[in-house]
Amino acid sequence: MQGVIQLLEKIAEQVRECRRCALAEGRTNAVPGVGPADARIMLIGEAPGEQEDLQGEPFVGNAGQMLTQLLATAGLDRSEAFITNIVKCRPPGNRDPHPDEVGACREYLDGQIACIRPEFVCTLGRPALQTLIDPTAGIMRVNGTVIERHGLTFVPLVHPAAGLHNPAMREPTTEGFQRLGEILRGTI
């Protein structure tokens, strides 16, 4: 356990100093991720937003408040999960990260997954789903389902912020996290 904590901290230090892609230029803080080294669940979003960039922590803005509530729906406290993103630095104006940026950052995420070896990897939103599971998958079809891929067990979820932008997305978002709760309790 001690070794894993140190390895995770080493990855975090590398991220904080990283200049491998253009996103290094606009950032205030890189956002390596947060959570216990022995977490049962990893949550992987898209990229830091404004608040995350300012504070150096993932999901601390509006999307983060939604995430905290949605995790409660699944019977989880956010402190139980390791939370990070597919890119660790904020894209300018919150644009989508470019494929070369996602590729440049990938080693850090793979290193974190290898350290934590979570039972479930939850992707939050389409970019994380298509990057980590299947580039052609549709988020609404796979929301809240179990997908075995690359030796990992994924549960893709609609992004917690989806309902903030589009009220019609609130129900599917909540449903996905409810299904995650059922999966964790072993009732699916």
Residues making contact with ligand URA (CB under 6 A) = 45-49, 52, 58-59, 63, 85, 161
Q: Which stretch of DSSP H or E encloses residue 41? A: strand 41-45
28/40 Cα distance (integer angstroms): 30
> Looking at this protein, which amino acid is placed at residue 154?
F
Shortest Å distance, C-beta 188 to ligand URA: 25
84/104 Cα distance (integer angstroms): 16
Under a CB-based contact definition with an 8 Å cutoff, are residues 118 and 42 in contact?
yes
> Looking at this protein, which amino acid is placed at residue 152?
L
Residues in the interface with ligand SF4 (CB under 6 A) total 14
Stretch binding ligand SF4 (CB under 6 A), from 70-78, 81-89, 125-133, 142-150:
81-89
Length in residues, the chain: 188
Looking at the Cβ atoms of 19 and 149, the one nearer to ligand SF4 is 19
Shortest Å distance, C-beta 124 to ligand URA: 6
Q: Which stretch of DSSP H or E encloses residue 169? A: none
Looking at the Cβ atoms of 34 and 152, the one nearer to ligand URA is 34
Contact between 10 and ligand SF4 by CB under 6 A: the answer reads no
Figure out which of the listed residues 8, 11, 18, 43 binds ligand SF4, where binding follows CB under 6 A: 18
13/2 Cα distance (integer angstroms): 17
Q: Which residues bind ligand SF4 (CB under 6 A)?
A: 15, 18-21, 23-24, 30, 87-89, 101, 104-105
